[in-house]
Structure 1
Amino acid sequence: MDFSIKSADKKNSLNTVKTGCLVVGIYEEQKLTDEAIALDIDGSVTHMLESGDISGKPGSTLLVNSPKGIAAKRLLLLGLGKKPVGEKDFRKAIETAIKSIKPLNTDDLLIALPFDTISNRDLSWAIYCVLSEFHVQLYQSDTFKNKKEASTKIRNVSFYLPSGDVTIAKNALHQAKAITDGMTLARNLGNLPANICTPTYLAKQAKSLAQTYKFGIEILDKKQIESLKMGSFLSVARGSDEPPKFIVLKHMKGKSKEAPVVLVGKGITFDSGGISLKPGAGMDEMKFDMCGAASVLGTFKAIGELDLRQNIIGIIPACENLPSGHANKPGDIVTSMSGQTIEILNTDAEGRLILCDALTYAERFHPAIVIDIATLTGSCVAALGHVNSGLFTRLDDAHDKLANDLIDASKRSNDPVWRMPVEDAYQEQLKSNFADMANIGGQPAGCVTAACFLERFTKKYTWAHLDIAGTAWKSGPAKGATGRPVPLLCTYLIQRENKR
């Protein structure tokens, strides 16, 4: 689908623009937006409202075929609620509009809405909202279906905006398209079955991105991983016949000595739980346990499209967690790359075992910021459900700033997070009688103790952990990867660049 900007000028007056469908807003109590007033030259829009078929409440619609005095083939009047338009009301209106437009037999669409009247939000946010909702509603995962799902006929979407907004809008459109394309890649990877999306497959996808966008890349195999003494990561990998891969992507477009941002994504391409086997019901969804890795690859696609002037490194430890004669056993003790020893009390707490070595590896880049992304704990789902991802950082000035920057980016990208504690008091739960630490801290505050485990490997830099176990995919009839938190990560990086 192509998106573009159409300048509002004398050559493109709204009632003379030819399009398959024109979308115009109406405020509550049937008050006209400026765009609706521009169409109401002969009172035709007012006459439509007099039918009483649209109230102007958020998400109310009235579709008019062959509207009188208007060049557009169809006119969709869209309720926006009260002026100024609330963020929630705007998003509801856009959601409803796209649902109304999808089945239409038209290949182009013109959106003429009062983006400047959205409360506490700017034009860039509004454009991202529209593209994000198109992505959500039009995404399909039917690669392996012989009978493909019906798709919309809309191929071109334009925003009708004042000429003074065109430059800002084009930049916003470029950023929004990069983010949604990154989400699409992350969703596609997440939705693939584990017999196809193996660690080797993830490595090939990373190589493809590197070739397309000229990233630096390293793919470490088992022998190289062994030479780095990543005993914790390898202990998880050895239960499977699939070889592990340690993937490193490098986008080095910042200053030569500038400390990079490092993104670390959990890449368990299938998680059976290992010897601590998961219940059979719903185990198929454990193909989504690599969504942290997918989000790093999706973010790197967006980074490549935007050509950000920063140094950004992506690290993905990738393997399977399966039961076998070689697999970890409860009670085993392994030595991490950092030299710290870990007693494995539960083999299903494997994500932290591969991430801890990746977090130690990140030290070599002397990073400014490290953010790890992982479908880490069911406890986070119990705590936050499927709305917020869990955000964990230490409590000090540097980490408070990072947390606040990520929270701000989450609000702007409609990809919410909620900050959770990382405190020494929780570290007590990770004590082991036989090793430096245990890999689980018991049921209480499980997502917090998991973050506290990771925190032990991040002492040399500013760090945040995103637990996306409740937000990376959906179950039930809507089963599938969501692409989160690609919008959050991309928006954070974009805002970081804008502040420099």
Structure 2
Amino acid sequence: MAYKVLSSLTANNVNSADLLKVKTDLLIIAVNKKTSAAAELKGLQANAQSLVKESIKEINSGSRKSIFLPAPAKVSAKNILLIKEPDPKAASFLVLRYYEEIMGLVKSAKAKDFAYLMSSTTSKDFDLAWAAEVAARTFESTAYTFNATKNKTAKPIIVKKGALLFAGLTPAKLRSVKASVKLGHAVGEGMNATKHLGDLPANHCTPRIIERKTKALKKDFPALKISSLNEKDMERLKMGSYLSVGKGSDEPSRMMTIEYKGGAKDKQPIVLVGKGITFDTGGISIKPSPAMDEMKWDMCGAASVFGIMQTLARLKAKVNVVGLLVCAENMPSARATKPGDVVTSMSGQTIEILNTDAEGRLVLCDALTYSKKFKPSHVIDMATLTGAVVVALGSPATGVMANNQPLADKILAAGEKSGDRAWQLPLWDEYAHCTKTNFADLANIGGGREAGTIHAASFLSNFTKDFKWAHMDIAASAWNGGAKKGGTGRPVPLLAELILNGNL
């Protein structure tokens, strides 16, 4: 299944005469101090010029941020939206919010297609190609609407086509911008795939369903090599920690591998490991019932791998990447793992399971050990691992911990560039005591309430001694609650920036 919402997203040069001829439901014009009705919409009748001029003046004065106008005579578009563009020096996340606002206005106007005239600001602080990439990514990802389990008679208006318009670009600059739009569109599609998988109810998204959806990617992306491990395979590999999580569920665990080889044959791959707990009750250490429905998103790490691998294949990226989707369901039953049980991980280290609700690290540790078979250059895991990261960082940032500082630095830089931001937490030796226990090599939780996010990463670090590794705790950033409840598609933008431009 393709997860593209905008079937067409183009980039084109236009002059003021061409702009009048653009046929679209909504023509959007970015407004700044240099915007002129005479220049942007040359050829309008005097009264229409005056209306547009006054509207631009009102926006630049700060009294209005955006204004809808009915299209004047001689304009082929049905309606016009004037909107204040952000300062060229604005942080990337503010530019991202701006494009999200535009798509929100497109939806509110019930437009099925739109054309956006981007400012060609030449400030040294403004990278037009980057802005075009972020615009394309954001327009695609925010056009997404979840309808999979809604009544089929409901027909929401879905934005299908978009165009980014530019004035006066040289042929070389236009080629650069077109490439950026293609990149942004592909990243946005990867975000939508991630959101869709996460938004599915748990009864529509079991480990075996994810397995089927993953194998189905081969149809659209033949460059992907896809395989899976079932529970018998895991037993053979001695993944006792992984298997302990799904013991209480009637849904068997699955781990899918997606391999993409677009780089040099001798180039070591980057391995991405995604936690995929398709529903997390907490097991015997059961969670409180309020907001437990949100535990369908406990598989957003695996969903992110599902999304980014499609983006890389669509772009025919010249990189080698392996993605692991580490899926299980954590349920209580007579067969379920009990607090105090001791299991043996694939690495041979034994683990005392003091809390069955700290299950993500139990599947991840065996997946990290398994990742060694690919002889990786770097391993990055992503997981909705701890509620503690929500308290520590809130939704703006993904928590990052690593055993290799250059890798951590590149992740943070990719977050800043993409607007999909991250923040590093320490992983010092002083935290190692948290995994000590009298009854096994390791305990799956630390004592007390302090440093819960770091304790989880400290546990995982015991399985990463042989490679450069970073852990991304996305529990705060992978989905929204409240009125905007739903998956965010993060950290796909960060991963795309890191893998494609991070020089790993």
TM, length-normalised to structure 1: 0.91
Aligned pair partner of 2:127 in 119, 122, 126: 122
| Matched ranges for 1:206-285 at <5 A | 206-214=214-222, 215-285=224-294
Report the equivalent of 1:317. 326
Percent identical: 40
Aligned pair partner of 1:142 in 137, 147, 152: 147
Summarize the Cα distance change of 1:440–1:63 in structure 2 as closer, same or farther, 3 Å threshold. Answer: same
Residues 297-330 of structure 1 show CA distances to partners (whole Å, capped at 9, x for unaligned) of 0111111111112111111221111112221111
Residues 205-264 of structure 1 show CA distances to partners (whole Å, capped at 9, x for unaligned) of 110113431211221111111010111111112121211112111112222221100000
Matched, 1:373 2:382: yes
Cα deviation for residue 490 of structure 1 reads 1.6
Q: Secondary structure at the residue paired with 1:349? A: coil
Report the equivalent of 1:49. 53
Q: Secondary structure at the residue paired with 2:283? A: coil
Report the equivalent of 1:352. 361
Report the equivalent of 2:3. none
Cα deviation for residue 22 of structure 1 reads 2.3
| Alignment coverage as a number of residue pairs | 490
Cα distance in structure 2, aligned partners of 1:97 and 1:248:
37
Q: Secondary structure at the residue paired with 1:195? A: helix
Summarize the Cα distance change of 1:268–1:387 in structure 2 as closer, same or farther, 3 Å threshold. Answer: same
Matched, 1:37 2:19: no
Aligned pair partner of 1:461 in 467, 471, 480: 467
Q: Secondary structure at the residue paired with 1:333? A: strand
Cα distance in structure 2, aligned partners of 1:13 and 1:292:
45
Report the equivalent of 2:482. 476
Matched, 1:439 2:444: yes
| Matched ranges for 1:65-104 at <5 A | 65-67=70-72, 70-80=75-85, 87=92, 90-104=95-109
Cα distance in structure 1, aligned partners of 2:324 and 2:442:
24
Cα distance in structure 1, aligned partners of 2:137 and 2:428:
36
Cα deviation for residue 495 of structure 1 reads 0.7
Residues 266-297 of structure 1 show CA distances to partners (whole Å, capped at 9, x for unaligned) of 11111111111111121111111111111100
Aligned pair partner of 2:337 in 328, 351, 368: 328
Cα deviation for residue 147 of structure 1 reads 5.9
Residues 330-376 of structure 1 show CA distances to partners (whole Å, capped at 9, x for unaligned) of 11111111111111111111100110000001111110010001010
Cα distance in structure 2, aligned partners of 1:257 and 1:83:
41
Cα distance in structure 2, aligned partners of 1:87 and 1:317:
32
Q: Secondary structure at the residue paired with 2:19? A: coil
Cα distance in structure 1, aligned partners of 2:465 and 2:338:
29
Q: Structure 2: where are the runs of 5+ without partners?
A: 1-5
Report the equivalent of 1:488. 494
Cα distance in structure 1, aligned partners of 2:493 and 2:322:
17
Q: Is the 8 A contact 2:140 2:185 kept in 1?
A: no
| Matched ranges for 1:281-430 at <5 A | 281-394=290-403, 399-430=404-435
Matched, 1:6 2:12: yes
Cα deviation for residue 393 of structure 1 reads 0.7
Q: Structure 1: where are the runs of 5+ without partners?
A: none
Summarize the Cα distance change of 1:105–1:26 in structure 2 as closer, same or farther, 3 Å threshold. Answer: same
Question: Which residue type is aligned with residue 60 of structure 1?
Answer: K
Q: Secondary structure at the residue paired with 1:235? A: helix
TM, length-normalised to structure 2: 0.90
Cα deviation for residue 163 of structure 1 reads 4.2
Coordinate RMSD, CA, aligned: 2.5
Q: Is the 8 A contact 2:67 2:82 kept in 1?
A: yes
Q: Is the 8 A contact 2:401 2:424 kept in 1?
A: yes
Cα deviation for residue 186 of structure 1 reads 1.0
Cα deviation for residue 18 of structure 1 reads 4.2
Cα deviation for residue 102 of structure 1 reads 2.3
Q: Secondary structure at the residue paired with 1:251? A: strand
Residues 141-189 of structure 1 show CA distances to partners (whole Å, capped at 9, x for unaligned) of 1221216665346432111122432211221111111111111111111
Q: Secondary structure at the residue paired with 1:168? A: helix
Matched, 1:21 2:26: yes
Summarize the Cα distance change of 1:222–1:93 in structure 2 as closer, same or farther, 3 Å threshold. Answer: closer
Q: Is the 8 A contact 2:92 2:417 kept in 1?
A: no
Cα deviation for residue 139 of structure 1 reads 2.0
Cα distance in structure 1, aligned partners of 2:64 and 2:142:
16
Summarize the Cα distance change of 1:90–1:256 in structure 2 as closer, same or farther, 3 Å threshold. Answer: closer
Cα distance in structure 1, aligned partners of 2:94 and 2:352:
51
Q: Is the 8 A contact 1:138 1:151 kept in 2?
A: no
Q: Is the 8 A contact 2:273 2:368 kept in 1?
A: yes
Residues 440-499 of structure 1 show CA distances to partners (whole Å, capped at 9, x for unaligned) of 012210100100000110011100000011111122232222111111112211114xx5
Report the equivalent of 1:176. 184
Summarize the Cα distance change of 1:46–1:429 in structure 2 as closer, same or farther, 3 Å threshold. Answer: same
Q: Secondary structure at the residue paired with 1:265? A: strand
Summarize the Cα distance change of 1:58–1:371 in structure 2 as closer, same or farther, 3 Å threshold. Answer: farther
Summarize the Cα distance change of 1:56–1:159 in structure 2 as closer, same or farther, 3 Å threshold. Answer: farther
Cα distance in structure 2, aligned partners of 1:239 and 1:75:
57
Q: Is the 8 A contact 2:88 2:126 kept in 1?
A: no
Summarize the Cα distance change of 1:83–1:307 in structure 2 as closer, same or farther, 3 Å threshold. Answer: closer
Matched, 1:191 2:199: yes
Cα distance in structure 1, aligned partners of 2:63 and 2:96:
9
Q: Is the 8 A contact 1:25 1:36 kept in 2?
A: no
Cα deviation for residue 71 of structure 1 reads 4.5
Cα distance in structure 1, aligned partners of 2:93 and 2:429:
38
Cα deviation for residue 131 of structure 1 reads 2.9
Cα distance in structure 2, aligned partners of 1:58 and 1:250:
52
